[in-house]
């Protein structure tokens, strides 16, 4: 069974600070997705990375897929209170099956 670990589990920072959260596995994934979930809602997709070493930027968010496709990171520059939420990574095999979610990093950005 493929497993994803995320760190840190909780993160509380001040507005304007930078942060990085990590998603790690001992297994290789065909794709890694990052989602953000707010209380009472379902997760919303932020990005999909599929190529080892790939870097994607989405405004203040930078996503990286590890060269071996076993890990990923999410870096947020100048965090804002609106970034508060649960950040989840999810991996899948080549057929889009066996989706596995990590336990998430709960981010709180204080004004």
Rounded to whole angstroms, the Cα distance separating 90 from 106 reads 15
Of 18, 15, 13, 34, the C-alpha closest to 86 is 34
Give me the least distance between CB of 24 and another protein, in Å please: 14
Q: What is the C-alpha to C-alpha distance for residues 89 and 110, in angstroms, rounded to an integer?
A: 23
Binding mask 48-77 for another protein (x = CB under 8 A): x-x---------------------------
The residue within the footprint of another protein, chosen from 11, 76, 92, 107 (CB under 8 A), is 92
Alpha-carbon span 24 to 14, nearest angstrom? 26
User: Taking CB under 8 A as the rule, does residue 43 contact another protein?
Assistant: yes
Residues that bind another protein (CB under 8 A): 4, 6, 29-31, 33, 40-45, 48, 50, 88, 90, 92-104
């Amino acid at each position: 069974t493929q497993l994803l670990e995320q760190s840190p589990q909780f993160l509380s920072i001040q507005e304007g600070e930078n942060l990085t959260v990590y998603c790690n596995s001992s297994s290789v994934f065909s794709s890694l997705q990052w989602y953000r979930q707010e209380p009472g809602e379902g997760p919303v997709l932020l990005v999909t990375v599929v190529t080892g070493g790939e870097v994607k930027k989405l405004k203040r968010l930078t996503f990286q897929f590890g060269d071996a496709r076993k890990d990923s990171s999410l870096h947020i520059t100048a965090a804002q209170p609106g970034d508060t939420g649960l950040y989840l990574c999810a991996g899948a095999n080549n057929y889009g099956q066996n989706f596995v979610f990590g336990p998430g990093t709960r981010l709180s950005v204080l004004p």
